Amino acid sequence: MTATQPALAQDQNKEQEQAAEVQRVTVTGSSIKRIAGESALPVTIMKADEFVSKGMTTIEEVLSSVSANQQTTVGSTSIGFDGGGKSSANLRGLGDDRTLVLLNGRRLANHPFDGSSVDLNAIPFAALDRVEILRDGASHIYGTDAVAGVINFITKRSFTGVSATAEAVIPQQTGGHEKRGNVTAGFGDLQKDGYNVFGVLDYHDQGRVRSIDRPYSATGIQPAYGINKTSGTTFPANFFSAKGITGNPRYASGCFAPNTVPQAGNGVTDMGTCRQDYARLVDDIPDTKQTTAYVKGALRFGAYGLATLDYLHSESENISRIAPPPLTGLKMSADNKWYPGAAGGTPAVSGLTGEDLTINWRPLETGQRTSKNLGVSDRVVLSVEGSAYGWELAGGASYAQTRVTQDFTSGYVEDAMIQPGITAGTLNPFGAQDAQGAAYLQNALLIGNALNAKAKNASVDVRATRDLMTLPGGALALALGAEHRTENSTYTVNHAIVDQAAIYRATALFGVKDQDASRSLSAVYAELVAPLHKTLELQLAARSDRYSDAGSTFNPKVGIRFQPLKQVMFRASANTGFRAPTLYEMHSPVFDTYTVGAYDDPQLCPGGVAKTGVNPLTACHSIQPGKSGGNPELHPEKSRSYSFGVVFEPVKDLTASLDYWHIKVVDGIGAALTEAELFADPEKYRDRFHYNAGGTALDYVNLSSLANLGIRKSSGVDLTLQYRFPQTPIGWFDTWFNGTYVTSNVWQVTPDADPFESIGVYNGATRWKHNLALRWMNGAWSTTLSQRYTSGYVDQNAVAAQYQRDVSANSIWTLSGAYTGFKNTTVTAGIKNLLNTDPPFSNQNANPQTGYDPRLSDPIGRAYYVRLTYKFK
């Protein structure tokens, strides 16, 4: 799984092995062709056959098996947020905006909902040949914004014939079923005929897992852990009277279990209320559907020329479901038929004397707030390779765009209809609707398009390489290149729909202004590889970029490779980087939203006790209103990084590598604080809490003020091992291992704060992560046992001191097997999460899911899978 793999994975066919030893290829991180494994840079290479044989069915799973990838943003983390179902990678734990994702060495368009990174759902999984991961920062070829590294997905070079695959994943527990099918077809032999055309059509469907389908996430009321994810905006509704009495007519009968639970009052001003267990009404994993079409044509011309045209189209649908809308501040007078104790049959509440009520209500009959996020990505690339006058020449032009739409499909209501419906006695907030009320709610539903966003880029690039002279260790090689790229980001809200759901902040899109931002950049780069001796190679590179909106930058890179013995190679590199703020970071609109967790308003409910005249249902232990958005005053961040390591083969067929890396980012861009940190010290962050003129209501909390925070540093050690055992009477065995130990991960939460060591803490970096596999092969049979391990960490701990805890380590084993004995057929089957290990418990409240951390854990549990591939001849 590393760049040294060709030296280890000895092929049983000696002719193939010798051919592999002399083939010179371009490896991610350099423009100059060389023998694979010779690079001074640490590159991890994963073949598609490897991750398919391990039962991996998504790009998320593939990257989770890379120890350098700290956290993969998965589609489930977009539930309850406007993330559009994006999945992204995060090398070194520095953020997905510092990891550059490429397809065949060229950029895709970033996901437009946050503009920070590529949506991994757009990658054509079934068309892949391999994945190359440059575990070194600031690539001089692809862009100096690759601060933490580069992930380059590389498709098949050519394909002839027809291949069809069907696949199913069946979890042992409820929900989460997967199915996949794809067809690959191609014609023409690139070597014999001079051309090849092939295409891939792939479909993948992932079923939802509801929170109530797993015991650890089935409720937000877990007193043993100090968790109380409940809200005073409920069904049946709570009220707050003009005389300061709170209550709920259904309290005495137990509320509406299990979605709402009773909370005892003092019997004087609080007659007992209901609390909404909103954690029961979200999904752990959303419904997702992905369709990908990829077509590639290649044509040879002249003696060395090659022209390639490829087109990618992908569609990813993600269904987000959260609790019904919280409708607060509704009014009801004593003459209403649904008033407690009135003719409508609502139970009376002691202490009420006919005063007006303020009502907090969730209309469960409308169902969960459900939105469909559809991401559509397109990319076309024309590239040409050839040679002239002693130069190897290459160039290309590409256009890529990603469009995302968000549609309301259920649960959202036209807010302006709610108060009139209550005033007229049509809507009953204290119980089930009659036929008239049910019809009224159906008419109040908002269904339609809410949001459209698009990100696109267009680029042209050229590259020329040649040998200049012969040095003692080989040819002095030079590469020169240039690139011009334009980027555009647009964000358009359908206010005809959105503004009707705005009064009670059921959607975060109210007040959002349309955005349209663009930039361009031009870059030139050069690379020189000088084999000074047969044991010593020097790599020098530099890149100069000019941004239309972020200035100019020059960034050098140096790499050294020293191989004193055939069995030992030392390597080192150092470089600088430059990341301009993304268009979204600077120009993203300001959103109205709510906190994920429930908090006390620090001014209106200090210490959990509401001030006189304050409605405790909204001020105390409740989700609070917030805003988040971009910052046009951001300026670029700069980075310096270095790495050094050794690759050695102490015995035949055993290869190991050890690399130390260090990255320092200055003026790092990020959201200064989490919501839990803000509410933990509201006095310190008083400027983030905005109240109305009279100070009687919290307008919003500034939850995401992007800023240049200061320093971020990350360092650690990567370890890889691979060994093929001597042949045994029962077949071949081999094993491989990759692990990352983080020695430091420092960042500043505010520009004036002291640097904070975040290793082994929530929102930081995990100390240790590894992946281990053991494979057996004998003729047509093969079996792989693999493990994915992540060390534990200090939990988010936005709970009382006595409940603060650590999250346990997470270890997942997978067993898979394959059989190729049937003609033209490969059968693969296995068990994911072999030991049926539940996610480690977490008290995090940054995501709507409860009881575990969806960034690092999978709630699917044990799942059985089978895959059948047939190749037509």
Q: Nearest CA to 185 among 195, 198, 196?
A: 198
CA dihedral 106, 108, 114, 120 (to 10 degrees): -100
The residue type of 641 is S
- Alpha carbon distance 438, 445 (integer Å): 11
Q: In this structure, what are the phi and psi dihedrals at residue 261, rounded to the nearest 5 degrees? A: -130, 150
DSSP 530-586: EEEETTEEEEEEEEEEEETTTEEEEEEEEEEEEEEETTEEEEEEEEEEEEPPPHHHH
Determine, yes or no, domain membership for 314: yes
Q: How many CB atoms lie within 10 A of CB 522?
A: 14
The answer as to whether 316 is a domain residue is yes
Low-confidence ranges of the chain (pLDDT < 50): 1-23, 36
In 3-state terms, what secondary structure has residue 828? Answer: strand
Is 219 domain-assigned? Answer: no
User: In angstroms, how far is CA 711 from the centroid of its own chain?
Assistant: 23
Per the CB < 8 A criterion, the answer to whether 599 and 607 are in contact is no
Give residue 838's region: left, alpha or beta (phi > 0; psi -120 to 50): beta
Give the bridge partners for 657, in sequence order.
647, 720
Residue 713 backbone phi and psi in degrees, to 5: -130, 140
Task: Tell me whether strands 625-629 and 698-724 are parallel, antiparallel or unpaired.
Answer: parallel
The whole domain housing 841 covers 5-213+285-324+370-412+447-872
Distances (CA, A) of 448 to 90, 373, 439, 494, 515: 34, 12, 19, 9, 21
DSSP assignment letter at 394: E
Q: Tell me the pairing of strands 149-155 and 99-103.
A: parallel
In a domain, 733, yes or no: yes
Assigned domain for 345 exists:
no
597 is written with which tokens?
A: 């967790």
Q: Residue for token digits 């007078």?
A: 333
Q: Which DSSP state fits 842?
A: B
Radius of gyration of the chain (CA): 29
| Number of residues assigned to the chain | 873
Pairwise CA distance, residues 142 & 139, whole Å: 6
Identify whether 336 is part of a domain: no
Residue 78, pLDDT score: 63
Is position 512 within any domain?
yes
What sign has the CA pseudo-torsion 170, 176, 177, 181? negative
What is the model's pLDDT at position 77? 63
- State the total domains in the chain: 1
- DSSP, collapsed to helix, strand or coil, labels residue 183 as strand
The DSSP bridge partners found for residue 771 are 738, 788
Q: What's the confidence (pLDDT) of residue 184? A: 97
Residue-level pLDDT at 855 = 84
Q: What letter represents residue 86's amino acid?
A: K
DSSP label at residue 352? -
pLDDT at position 261 is 95
Percent of the chain scoring above 90 in pLDDT: 68
Residue carrying the six token digits 């358009």: 492
The confidence score (pLDDT) of residue 734 equals 95
If DSSP codes are grouped into helix, strand and coil, which group holds residue 93? coil
Give the H or E element holding residue 676: helix 675-680
* Closest to 861 measured CA to CA, from 132, 209, 21, 99: 209
Closest CA to 481 of 557, 545, 547, 576: 545
Q: Which residues contact 693 (CB under 8 A, 6 or more apart)?
A: none
Query: Residue type at 181?
Result: G
The reported pLDDT for the residue numbered 5 is 41
Cβ pair 519, 585 in contact under 8 A: no
Q: How far apart are CA 672 and CA 715, in angstroms?
A: 22
Full 3-state SS string of 420-451: HHHHCCCCCCCCCCCHHHHHHHHHHECCEEEE
CA 197 to chain centre: 33
SS3 content of the chain, % helix, strand, coil (to 5): 10, 50, 40
- pLDDT at residue 21, rounded to an integer: 41
Are 843 and 221 spatial neighbours (Cβ–Cβ below 8 Å)? no
**Chain centroid, CA 330 distance in Å:** 38
3-state helix/strand/coil string of 283-312: EEECEEEEEEEEEEEEEEECCCEEEEEEEE
> What is the token pair recorded at 291?
């369709």
Sign (positive/negative) of CA torsion 245, 246, 248, 253?
negative
Q: Per the domain annotation, does 554 fall within a domain? A: yes
Amino acid at 361: W
Write the CA distances from 532 to 4, 31, 535, 569, integer angstroms: 22, 19, 8, 15
Q: Give the E-state strand segments of 176-264 in sequence order.
A: 178-187, 195-206, 209-210, 221-222, 227-228, 238-241, 246-247, 260-263
pLDDT of res. 11: 38
**CATH code of the domain in which 127 resides:** 2.40.170.20
Q: Are strands 260-263 and 149-155 parallel, antiparallel or unpaired?
A: unpaired
What is the distance between the alpha carbons of residues 705 and 298, in angstroms, rounded to a whole number?
48
- What is residue 155's three-state secondary structure? strand
Question: What span, in angstroms and rounded, lies between the C-alpha atoms of 87 and 121?
Answer: 7
Structure-token pair, residue 793: 């960490």
411 three-state secondary structure: coil
C-beta separation of 38 from 561 below 8 A: yes
The pLDDT assigned to 73 comes to: 63
Whole-angstrom CA distances from 751 to 176, 517, 666, 673, 746 are 43, 27, 11, 11, 13
CA dist., res. 749 & res. 590, Å (int): 21
